[in-house]
Amino acid sequence: MSFVIRASSFFRHSSLLIRHFSLLFALSTYSAPVNVDLPTVMKLAGANNDEIQLARDKHTETLAESKLAWQRFWPSLTLGAGYRRTDGNVQDIAGAVFDVSKQQYTVGPNLMIDWSPGDMYYAALVAKQKALAAEQLAEKARRDIVTQATGRYYDLLASEASLAIIEDDLRLTQDYEKQIGGAVEAGTAFRTDLLRVKTQVSREKLAIRQHQEKRDLAAAALAEILRLPAETELRPAKADLVPVRLLDRKTGIATLISQAAQHRPEMKAAGAVSTAAAWERERARVAPLIPNVQAGYGFGGLGGGFNDDMGNFDETQNAYVGLGWKIGPGGLFDKQRKIIANAQEHAAHLQSAQVKAAIGREVVEAAAKAQSSHDQIAINDEAVNAAQEMVKLARERQASQLGVVLEYLLAREELTRARQSRVKAVTDFNKAQHSLKRAVGR
């Protein structure tokens, strides 16, 4: 069983790679329009966009800062050699001044510690939370770009579907033009009817050109967000639109908002920022109470003597440990630092509340748009059925009597508008479904 699963996963990934390589090969030629489907668009949007990469770079930077904050607890080690010479008057400990000529040289390592444990500890905790926030913001950027690319793909798909509807209508109108032309020659139809049909043909050709322009603009917008060459002619894999539901319709708004509060990366980032602000407040309160530590230990060799004597070389070692408290700005009795930290924590909580409120609004709006688009699809289905019936009746009357050409053309216009309106409703529904999925945090 596991072999079957692994094999199917291998072939699925292999087919995806083949599709991507085919897309890249097609893009390198630019000789013909390139067909793309929604999964490819979503993967390209999540991989190629520089806004996502900027957010990831910011996360990498904050993650390195977090690691560096903990590394500041490591002592510094130096290894080297030194030479020192003194000529002239010096003063000894007792205060006597005398003339001397001496020199010394040292060789060996020195281990030094200069710690502010309180500040270093809390700074590391704050840096960790900032790294978590940056990670979530990078994920937010990725989801935003993918959702935006999905919307532009559906715009392209809708333009192509509307164009296909008008092209289909043009073919039928041109066939009808030939029939009316034959009837005019046979004397069973008026030339006015033929001219009316010809006018309709020209109008539909104009609409086709306008929709081609709209399709090309949508393709350019999609190529921009996918960071593909501007001259790439993208075309959707299919020109027909079907409604795709991504979330259970029975799920209530309150449940969706609750899920969004748990899963949205913005909420996780806001929570990390609030936690960082809380650690900053604790840092301002506790860190000054913890003494600074300075310590050092060195060992090696020491040599030298009076005048030019370079001998007397032997081992030497020294050690030092000291504690101290800083008083003033950044240390004890620094009230302004505490005020600033408290204000920053309060601001972080307010920003978190704002993010939560905005997310709730996004969920409600996306759910409302999805429901409205779903209802509009049903209404448009009724309109399409009525328009098809109207076209059928008009065609039957036209076959039995004269003077109903205008009625038939108007019926076909109504059918075309109804079909295009349904395309828009399905497009809006699919876009709303992706927006709702993003709003919920899935």
Residue 108 region by backbone torsions, left for phi larger than 0, else alpha for psi between -120 and 50, else beta: left
Say how far apart CA 331 and CA 116 lie, in whole Å: 11
Average pLDDT over residues 52-79: 76
Q: What pLDDT, on a 0 to 100 scale, did the predictor assign at position 12?
A: 43
Q: Domain tally for the chain?
A: 1
Q: What percentage of the chain reaches a pLDDT higher than 90?
A: 7
Query: In angstroms, rounded to a whole number, what is the distance separating the alpha carbons of residues 439 and 169?
Result: 39
Q: What is the mean pLDDT of residues 128-136?
A: 88
User: What SS3 state is found at 163?
Assistant: helix
Structural domain contains residue 1: no
The rounded distance, in Å, linking the Cα atoms of 167 and 161 is 10
Tell whether 15 is covered by a domain: no
Amino acid at position 88, single letter: G
Q: What mean pLDDT comes out for the span 19-25?
A: 49
**What is the edge-to-edge ordering of all strands in the sheet holding 97-115?**
76-91, 97-115, 292-306, 314-324
Q: Which residue has the tokens 């593909």?
A: 228
Query: Is residue 112 domain-resident?
Result: yes
Asked whether residue 331 is assigned to any structural domain, the reply reads yes
Does residue 281 lie in a domain region? yes
Q: Is residue 318 predicted with pLDDT exceeding 90?
A: no
Look at residue 140 and tell me if it is in a domain.
yes
Q: In the predicted model, what is the mean pLDDT of residues 160-180?
A: 86
CATH of the domain at 41: 1.20.1600.10
Segment 396-423 shows an average pLDDT of 78
Examine residue 21 and state whether it is found in any structural domain, yes or no. Answer: no
Q: What is the pTM of this model?
A: 0.74
User: Does the residue 8 lie in any domain?
Assistant: no
- In which domain, by residue range, is 149 found? 37-90+97-440
